[in-house]
């Protein structure tokens, strides 16, 4: 099995639960106090020797991280920038220069580029919690997403849709008749395919979301996909 390295039984922690001693190290979702490492979230515990103990939230909003690819929805167009909903407590800001447009606000209306309601693929460039997270679309593959159906996934379960070293997403890309654009923030755009392919894709994504913390998920999803579309794509 591809995931043999992970410990067999996933451990769920609640806030305040002691997870280990200080020398084991504290990563995301934990805090240190006096004698040990405690969970600060309701989530799944992961123990990695190099990074320390970490708790991955079971639910909750997306907290931006620099470098993340996110799918955002434009909610406001300003004179020089856009406000973008990235499924986080904070609205993100996309500056017009970061979209590769040198604008003179008197002559150029930013609505021509991205309008309210448009979905964009972007990267998080800065985030310090005090100022809004900022985005850029000045890279290959970033920018406006044309067409497709948006759905929203619990952000902490996105890693499962991508899988270890992209194993799940590459399988989905190969076997589904739709194309997926997956943002780290939990917004997913489903493009192409017949309506029934789209509904099937949604059901698969929902299943991955719901069973994100189970073992052998990639194999089970593969079975379902093979049953539906046959083995010919392999």
Partner 1 sequence: MTKLSQEALLTDDGIRSDGRKVDEARPFEVEVGVLTQADGSALVRQGKNVILAGVIGPYEAERHSQFLDRGVLKVRYHMQPYSTNERKSPTYSRREIELSRAIREALEPAVILTDLPRTQIDVFVEVLQADGGTRCASVNAASVALADAGVPMKDLVTAVAIGKVRDTLVVDINDLEDENGQADFPLAMMPNKGLITLLQMNGLLDEEEIKRSVEMAKRVISSLYQVQVDALKKKYTPLALSKEGDKDA
CB of 186 to partner 1, least distance (A): 12
Alpha helices in 36-76 (DSSP H): none
∠ Cα 76 82 84 (to 5°): 70
DSSP β-bridge partners for residue 57: 43
CB-neighbour burial class of residue 85 (10 A; exposed 0-12, middle 13-18, buried 19+): middle
By CB under 8 A, name the one of 40, 136, 191, 226 that touches partner 1. Answer: 40
Binding residues among 82-101 for partner 1 as defined by CB under 8 A: 89-91
The site string for partner 1 over 152-191 (x = CB under 8 A, - otherwise) reads ----x-----------------------------------
Binding residues among 201-220 for partner 1 as defined by CB under 8 A: 210-211, 213-216
* 132 within 8 A of 93, measured Cβ to Cβ: yes
By CB under 8 A, name the one of 42, 75, 101, 171 that touches partner 1. Answer: 42
Interaction between residue 75 and partner 1 (CB under 8 A): no
Q: Which is nearer to partner 1, 92 or 145 (CB)?
A: 92
* 140 within 8 A of 199, measured Cβ to Cβ: no
For strands 92-95 and 134-136, give the pairing. Answer: parallel
CB of 192 to partner 1, least distance (A): 29
Report d(CA 89, CA 105) in Å as an integer: 29
Interaction between residue 227 and partner 1 (CB under 8 A): no
Strands in 49-111 per DSSP E: 52-57, 69-77, 81-85, 92-95
Q: Which is nearer to partner 1, 85 or 95 (CB)?
A: 85
* 86 within 8 A of 94, measured Cβ to Cβ: no
By CB under 8 A, name the one of 2, 3, 16, 100 that touches partner 1. Answer: 16
Residues lying near partner 1 in the complex (CB under 8 A): 8-10, 12, 14-18, 29, 31, 38, 40-44, 57-61, 89-91, 129-130, 156, 210-211, 213-216
């Amino acid at each position: 099995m591809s995931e043999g390295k992970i410990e067999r039984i996933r451990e769920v922690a609640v806030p305040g639960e002691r997870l280990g001693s200080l020398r084991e190290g504290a990563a995301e979702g934990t805090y240190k106090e006096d004698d040990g490492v405690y969970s600060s979230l309701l989530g799944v515990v992961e123990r990695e020797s190099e990074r320390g103990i970490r708790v991955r939230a079971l639910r909750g909003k997306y907290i931006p991280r620099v470098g993340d690819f996110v799918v955002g929805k434009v909610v406001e167009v300003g004179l020089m920038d856009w406000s973008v909903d990235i499924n986080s407590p904070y609205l993100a800001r996309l500056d017009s220069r970061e979209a590769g447009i040198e604008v003179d606000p008197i002559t150029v209306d930013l609505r021509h580029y991205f309008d309210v309601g448009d979905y964009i693929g972007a990267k998080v460039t800065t985030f310090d919690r005090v100022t809004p997270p900022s985005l850029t679309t000045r890279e290959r593959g970033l920018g406006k997403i044309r067409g497709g159906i948006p759905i929203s996934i619990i952000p902490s379960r996105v890693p499962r849709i991508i899988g270890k070293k992209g194993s799940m997403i590459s399988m989905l890309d190969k076997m589904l008749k739709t194309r997926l654009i997956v943002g780290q923030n939990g917004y997913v755009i489903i493009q192409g395919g017949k309506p029934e392919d789209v509904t099937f894709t949604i059901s698969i994504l929902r299943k991955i979301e719901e069973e994100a913390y189970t073992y052998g998920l990639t194999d089970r999803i593969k079975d379902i996909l093979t049953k539906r579309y046959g083995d010919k794509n392999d």
